[in-house]
C-alpha cells in the first residue's frame, strides 16, 4: 500500500520549497495588510503573489504525498486542503478583532493544527500507513488557508472578518453583497483548489520535472488571480482593480510562455498543429 514511487529526483528539496513558499506567502500578505493599514488598496495584488507562493509550496507537498499512491487521485488532496483550509482561514480572520497583524500567522498555525488532526485520523484510524501523511495533510491545510486568504485579499483588499463580511454600498453597510455574504468565497475556494491540484495532476509521470510543474503552478495561480481581479472591481477602487488585473494578466502571459517552452524542452518531439490549415499551400 505504501510503496513509494519517486516522482522526480532533480531540483530543490521539499523542505526548501516549503520555506520559500511560506515566506513568499506570508511576506506578501503582510505587504497587502500594510496597504490597508496605510489606507491605500493598490497593494491588494500582493494577495495574488501570496496565493502563488502557497500554491508552489502545496504543489511540492502534493507531489510528495501522491508519490505513495493514495488511491483516490491527486484532485482529492486539493479538495481536502481547501476544505480544511477554509475553516482555519475564517477562524483566523476573526482574530483581526485582536490585531490584524496576527491573522496570516494565525491562519498558518490553525491550518497546521486542523491538518494535523486530519493527518493523524487518516494515518492511524483509517490505517493508511503512509509515512508523510500526517505532515502532508497538515501542510496542505495551511496552504489552503494561506492561498484562500491571498485570493480574498486580491478580491476585497482586506483579510479581517469584519471587512470581508460587510460591504459599503452608497454609504450603507450591507452584508448580502460582501465577500462572504454573496458567496464569492466559494468562487475563490474552487479557483484555489483547482489551481492546487491541477499542476501535479497534469505533469505527473516518468518525465515529470520540478521546474515545469512549478511553472504550471505559477501559471494556474495567476489564472485564478485574473478572475479574482475581475471580481475585485466590485470591492476595491478602480485603479487598484486595474493594477491587480494587469499584474495577473502579465504574470499569466509570461508564465504560460515559459511553461510552453519548458514543455517543448521536455517533450521527445513536438509538432505545431495549427488551428487552421493553410489552404493555399
Residues that bind other proteins (CB under 8 A): 1, 70-73, 75-77, 79-80, 82-88, 90-91, 94-95, 97-98, 110, 114, 117-118, 121-122, 124-129, 161, 165, 174-176, 178, 180-183, 185-186, 189
Instruction: Tell me how far apart the 2 most distant CA atoms of the chain are, in Å.
Output: 70
Q: Quick one: 28 or 84, whose CB is closer to other proteins?
A: 84
Nearest distance in Å: CB 180, other proteins: 5
Nearest distance in Å: CB 205, other proteins: 14
H or E element at residue 231: helix 210-231
Phi first, then psi, for residue 279 (nearest 5°) are -75, -20
Nearest distance in Å: CB 116, other proteins: 9
Neighbours of 160 (CB within 10 A): 18
Nearest distance in Å: CB 75, other proteins: 5
Nearest distance in Å: CB 203, other proteins: 17
| Per-residue exposure over 167-178, b if at least 16 CB sit within 10 Å of its own CB, e if not | beeeeeeeeeeb
Alpha-helical regions (H) of 95-209:
103-120, 133-156, 161-165, 184-203
Q: Quick one: 29 or 81, whose CB is closer to other proteins?
A: 81
CA dist list (Å): 174 to 97, 156, 180, 241: 19, 15, 11, 21
Q: Quick one: 182 or 227, whose CB is closer to other proteins?
A: 182
Q: Quick one: 126 or 238, whose CB is closer to other proteins?
A: 126
Amino acid at each position: 500500500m505504501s510503496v513509494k514511487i519517486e516522482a522526480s529526483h532533480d531540483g530543490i528539496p521539499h523542505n526548501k520549497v516549503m520555506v520559500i513558499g511560506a515566506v513568499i506567502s506570508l511576506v506578501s500578505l503582510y505587504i497587502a495588510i500594510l496597504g490597508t493599514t496605510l489606507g491605500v488598496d493598490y497593494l491588494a495584488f500582493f494577495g495574488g503573489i501570496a496565493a502563488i507562493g502557497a500554491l508552489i509550496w502545496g504543489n511540492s507537498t502534493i507531489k510528495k504525498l501522491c508519490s505513495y499512491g493514495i488511491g483516490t487521485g491527486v484532485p482529492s488532496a486539493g479538495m481536502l486542503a481547501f476544505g480544511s483550509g477554509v475553516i482555519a482561514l475564517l477562524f483566523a480572520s476573526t482574530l483581526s478583532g485582536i490585531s490584524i497583524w496576527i491573522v496570516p500567522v494565525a491562519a498558518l498555525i490553525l491550518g497546521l493544527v486542523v491538518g494535523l488532526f486530519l493527518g493523524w485520523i487518516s494515518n492511524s484510524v483509517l490505517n493508511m500507513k503512509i509515512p508523510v501523511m500526517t505532515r502532508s495533510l497538515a501542510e496542505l491545510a495551511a496552504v489552503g488557508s494561506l492561498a484562500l486568504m491571498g485570493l480574498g485579499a486580491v478580491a476585497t483588499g482586506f483579510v479581517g472578518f469584519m471587512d470581508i463580511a460587510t460591504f459599503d454600498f452608497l454609504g450603507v453597510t450591507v452584508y448580502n453583497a460582501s465577500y462572504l455574504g454573496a458567496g464569492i468565497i466559494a468562487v475563490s475556494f474552487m479557483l484555489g483548489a483547482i489551481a492546487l491540484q491541477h499542476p501535479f495532476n497534469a505533469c505527473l509521470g516518468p518525465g515529470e520535472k520540478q521546474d515545469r510543474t512549478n511553472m504550471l503552478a505559477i501559471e494556474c495561480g495567476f489564472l485564478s488571480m485574473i478572475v479574482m481581479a475581475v471580481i475585485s472591481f466590485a470591492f476595491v477602487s478602480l485603479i487598484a482593480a486595474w493594477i491587480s488585473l494587469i499584474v495577473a494578466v502579465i504574470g499569466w502571459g509570461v508564465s504560460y510562455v515559459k511553461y510552453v517552452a519548458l514543455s517543448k524542452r521536455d517533450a521527445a518531439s513536438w509538432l505545431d498543429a495549427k488551428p487552421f490549415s493553410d489552404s493555399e499551400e
